[in-house]
Amino acid sequence: MKKKRIIWIELLRIAACLSVVLIHTASQHFRDIPIDTFTWKVSNFYHGFLRFTVPSFIMISGCLYLNKNRTWQLKKLWLRNILPVAAAYVFWQIFYSAYRIIVSGGLERGGVWVMKKMLVNISSAYFHLWYLPMLIGLMIITPLLWEFVNCKRGKQWEEYLLILFMIMKLLPYTITNLPLPWADHLEVLTSTVQPGLVTDLTGYYILGHYLYEYGLPKKLERIVYGLGLALILAAVGLCQWRSIALDRPVQVFYENYTICTFIWTAAVFLFFKNYLGKIEWSEKAGNIICYIGGTTFGVYLVHAFFRDVLHRMGFDSLIIGNTILSVPMVASVILILSFLAVVIIRRIPLLGKWIV
């Protein structure tokens, strides 16, 4: 391998990427099919059970960028870390904006209309590209966080920040969306102090470093596994129950800011670290895993294009009656096409290394 990479982290990266594609495939008809059908229930399960995806990506960044063996120079941070992500964001914002205009027949309206529409489209992140500005925000504050978590009392400060994250972000969000008596008053009470920790997802960033650096005692780790699985399944069930009651899709019980997803993501992270991390991989297998892991950023960026193209061709999650089979089948095709596209794009001189 050209550079030292941690196999279990690459496997977690691959699993998270695969799960994103599965969720987005399952979501194609999430809002336009009857809620009391088996198809919708399967889609709801995919949405909830695989919800560890984005938090896992953030935790991976946290455990790598906040590693005590790294040193951060601001010039290097902005040129080598932030600039490539920003360039990719700008490129794919323009790409998806142009794509939407073309498929909607907008080119017939003339150049002025197209330019205005382009500006409107790129003014807000395309549905999956929101992750890139969020990542840029985390990288901007990384040198400050690095100093914070790697000082003499770094572990204690991390524990303090994680407790604040749970109390000031996860708990208010969870309470707000649970059908509890006096929920409005509880929301006001729990949101009295809301610093936000600069970005709302910083807690996952720090959690990744904390679990990577310190782990958990074995008894607590086993509790996290059991509790995480129980909570995420309960969240899926609650979303199904609430959706049927309101006759509209409800996902609030397994969103990123819920206690359920927080503990479930921690459980998945610990499983990859403490179990898959103990496997002795051959050099060839390690090279393959690292190469595939290195393409996940690009796959994440381009998969929405192939998802939409295939959907327009009639190849989507409803291609066959059994959604349990159709979702992974369609997701596999999207993944293969996205992977091949990334391999090809990487071969484009100058451009390839900046956009995938």
Q: What is the pLDDT of residue 197?
A: 44
Q: What is the pLDDT of residue 94?
A: 93
DSSP string, 314-346: T-STTSSS-HHHHHHHHHHHHHHHHHHHHHHHT
Angstrom distance (rounded) from CA 260 to CA 80: 35
| Cα angle 315-317-322, degrees, rounded to a multiple of 5 | 115
- The residues spanned by each domain of the chain are 16-98+124-286
Angstrom distance (rounded) from CA 244 to CA 262: 25
Question: Which two three-digit tokens encode residue 268?
Answer: 């998945």
Q: Which value, in Å, is the radius of gyration of the alpha carbons in the chain? A: 21
Q: What is the pLDDT of residue 351?
A: 85
Question: Which two three-digit tokens encode residue 274?
Answer: 């403490």
Q: What is the pLDDT along the chain (356 residues), one digit of tens a residue?
A: 345 789 999 999 999 999 999 999 999 888 888 998 999 999 999 999 999 999 999 999 999 999 988 888 889 999 999 999 999 999 999 999 999 999 988 888 888 888 888 888 888 888 899 999 889 989 988 998 999 899 888 899 898 888 878 877 787 777 777 666 666 656 555 554 445 544 568 889 999 999 999 999 999 999 999 999 999 999 999 999 999 999 999 999 999 989 999 999 999 999 999 999 999 999 999 999 999 999 999 999 999 999 999 999 999 988 887 888 999 999 999 999 999 999 999 999 888 888 99
Question: Please, which residues have CB within 8 angstroms of residue 66's CB and are 6 or more apart in sequence?
Answer: 142, 145, 146, 149, 150, 205, 206, 208, 209
How far the first Cα of the chain sits from its last, in Å, is 20
| Residue 199: other Cβ atoms inside 10 A | 17
| Cα angle 300-301-302, degrees, rounded to a multiple of 5 | 100
The model's pTM is: 0.89
Question: Please, which residues have CB within 8 angstroms of residue 227's CB and are 6 or more apart in sequence?
Answer: 263, 267
Q: What is the pLDDT of residue 193?
A: 46
Q: Are 41 and 185 in contact (CB under 8 A)?
A: no
Cα dist. 276→10, 56, 125, 146, 269 in Å?
11, 15, 35, 27, 10
